[in-house]
Structure 1
Amino acid sequence: MSNIVVINSTGKIGSRVAAHLMAKGLPYRGVSRRTEIPFDWQDERTWPQALAGGKSAFISFVPDLAAPGALAVMQRFVAAARDGGLGKLVLLTGRGEIGAVAAENAVRESGLAWTIVRAAWFNQNFSEGHLLESVLEGHLYMPAGDRREPFVDAEDVAEVATAALLDDRHTGQIYDVTGPELLSFDEVAQRLAGATHRPLQYVPVTIEEFHAGLLQTLGQEWADLLRTIADETLDGRNSWVGDGVQRALGRAPRDFQSFLQQALGAGTWNVPAAAE
């Protein structure tokens, strides 16, 4: 029986944490809504079996810690984890999110060992996330103006989280994991266009225009959530580079060019351009 539980093991970071554990030959239990042993954040009846026998857990909250009611759910989860015998929690949070800080505090006050992995925007949002369609379409609409972000590679985030699960020296640490440089969305669009040979234009929009566009494609709930996240994280508060990767792993974080090379090698954007 594994004593490591990976919650949301089908997600962008959870799947990578699971892959790192598997590569090390370490048993783990990956759980999500669709796994054989399910874990659903909105169905507490699934929690006991998913956590049974676990000693540590990687936690990725769905849909996001900025969602309404997320803190109350996280508080109940922390209590369930403690009652279930877990000893350590490794929590993934979003930099700058008000709800994320509240969830971090719930974990830090749990009485359990903990590590916080506080992540910037993922590079992989442009290759396997919600912005992939925008890249393929040729227009990147974001309410970010010319502000700059320290985009981080999802592989770095997962490596830090994995290290925190396996080594007690990370206990009690808050790791701000970012890439090594600040980039505006316009600079990102230019780099993506140059690497992929696809037309891509960054179009700065207001938060109201951003929300209206999301309403048409995603519906009210997701549009409201993404508006909240953008409103809280794209105002410049995150325009600084963290040292979490260096502190946790003893090396520099991957840069955006390395992400581009990896994604190009995987054929991520190998579909006909919209203008063709």
Structure 2
Amino acid sequence: MSNSILVLGSTGKTGKRVAERLQNLQLPIRLGSRNGQPSFNWDEPSNWHEVLTGIQSVYITFQPDLAVPQSIEKIKQFTEIAKQHNVKQLVLLSGRGEKEAEACEQIVIQSGLNWTIIRASWFMQNFSENFLLDSILSNKVVLPTIKALEPFVDADDIADVAVAALTDSKHSNKIYELTGTDLLSFQSTTNQIATALNKPIAYQEIEMYDYVAALQSYQLPEDFIWLVQYLFTEVLDGRNESLSNDIETVLGRKPTSFHEYISKTLKTGIWKVQ
């Protein structure tokens, strides 16, 4: 498949949405995941050459997050191999206010390839696709103490912007910051979901060391615990308390509001206790 689009993280929140949209457009794509053919794994660069053969554009999502220190070296190595295979375009999903993510952005920007950077806020889907889903289903959300508000963004909006960047050259060499329509607290978002479900969902904030201890008691991976601690202590400090018009600029419509996200998520039945 020459001139194909490689979608990394094709089973993830945004990757699966980007892949679906490109398939609906009948564009040739290659799914970049551990179950893909050929398989892709950020920890196994030996097969990146095979994955990148015949690829023209790449949608890059990094697992678990560009915030982790090892991301910089891996993005650098991936970009170099992509250039060896004559890839023309890189679209990188990044995070707002993460210094490691910005270092990765610079690797892509300085690569000599066409590039688009998509800096996304916290995904609304964190409440319905892993992370906080079990908390919503169990009617109790417990998080570290959070003083900042967040402009939560819908993963569907991110995917729409990514597809626009992958299919229209006018988005080349641009950085887009994607936010929702409102600055919200985690408590207010939880309360909105509770109201929509017509059930009480308790919300509690605890000290970070107590939260880390709770995560460790569930035997979660240490890299996941580190990432959560980093995001809640470093990124959620108010640095991202601003709204952007970039979704409207790219798509010609307003971003999805949290209320609209709740409405469409209710239709999936994901919040119903089985």
**What is the TM-score normalised by the length of structure 2?**
0.96
State the TM-score, normalized to the length of structure 1. 0.95
Q: What is the CA distance between 1:232 and its match in structure 2?
A: 2.2
What is the DSSP-based 3-state SS (H/G/I as helix, E as strand, rest coil) of the residue aligned with 1:148?
coil
Give ranges in structure 1 of 5+ residues lacking alignment: none
Cα displacement string for residues 206-237 of structure 1 (whole angstroms, at most 9, x for unaligned residues): 22222222222213222112211222221111
CA contact (8 A) 2:180 2:243 kept: yes
Q: Residue 219 and residue 44 in structure 1: after superposition, are their counterparts in 2 closer, same or farther (change >3 A)?
A: closer
Q: Give me the CA root mean square deviation.
A: 1.3
Q: Which runs of 5+ in 2 are unaligned?
A: none
State how far apart, in whole Å, the 1-side matches of 2:83 and 2:5 are.
14
| Deviating more after overlay: 193-202 vs 43-52 | 193-202
| Residue matched to 1:54 | 55
In structure 1, the residue matched to 2:231 is 229
Alpha-carbon separation, structure 2, partners of 1:96 and 1:177 = 12
How far apart are the structure 2 equivalents of 1:68 and 1:106? Answer: 14
Q: 1:152 to 1:144 in 2, by over 3 A?
A: farther
Displacement, 1:60? 0.3
Q: What is residue 22 of structure 2 aligned with on the other side?
A: 21
Q: Which amino acid aligns with 2:222?
A: Q
CA offsets 1:156-184 (integer angstroms, 9 cap, x no match): 00000010000000001111011011111
- Preserved CA contact (<8 Å) 1:5 1:56: yes
1:77-96 to 2 correspondence within 5 Å? 77-96=78-97
Whether the aligned pair in 2 keeps the contact of 1:186 and 1:201 (CA below 8 Å) is: no
- Aligned ranges 1:167-206 → 2 under 5 Å: 167-206=168-207
Partner of 1:157: 158
Looking at structure 2, the residues matched to 84 and 214 of structure 1 have their Cα atoms a distance apart, in angstroms, of 42
Deviation at 1:63, TM superposition (A): 1.3
Shift of 1:110: 0.6
Does structure 1 residue 264 correspond to structure 2 residue 266?
Answer: yes
**Counterpart-to-counterpart distance in 2, 1:136 and 1:143:** 19
Q: How many residues align?
A: 272
Q: CA deviation at 1:132?
A: 0.4
Shift of 1:146: 4.2
With 13-22 and 191-200 compared, the bigger mean Cα shift is at 191-200
Is 2:167 the counterpart of 1:166?
A: yes
Could you tell me how far apart the structure 2 residues matched to 1:112 and 1:93 are? Answer: 17
Change (3 A) 1:23 1:152: same
How far apart are the structure 1 equivalents of 2:246 and 2:208?
Answer: 30
Q: Is the 8 A contact 1:144 1:185 kept in 2?
A: no
SS where residue 169 of structure 1 aligns?
A: helix
Deviation at 1:117, TM superposition (A): 0.6
Distance 2:23 2:13 in 1: 16
| Higher alpha-carbon deviation: 98-107 or 151-160 | 98-107
1:73-112 matches, within 5 Å, as 73-112=74-113
Task: Measure, in 2, the Cα distance between the counterparts of 1:56 and 1:187.
Answer: 39
CA distance in 2, matches of 1:96, 1:201: 29
Task: Answer whether contact 2:248 2:255 (CA < 8 A) is retained.
Answer: yes
Q: What is the rounded CA distance, in whole Å, between the counterparts of 1:187 and 1:112 in structure 2?
A: 42
Give 1:80 shift: 0.7
The superposition leaves residues 51-77 of structure 1 with CA deviations (integer Å, 9 ceiling, x where unpaired) of 110111000001111113110111111
Q: For residue 120 of structure 1, what is the aligned residue in structure 2? A: 121
Amino acid at match of 1:196: L
CA distance, structure 2, for counterparts of residue 73 and residue 223 of structure 1? 21
Q: How far does residue 144 in structure 1 lie from its aligned partner after superposition?
A: 4.5
CA drift of 1:90 comes to: 0.1
Among the aligned pairs, what percent are the same residue? 40
Amino acid in the other structure paired with 2:52: L
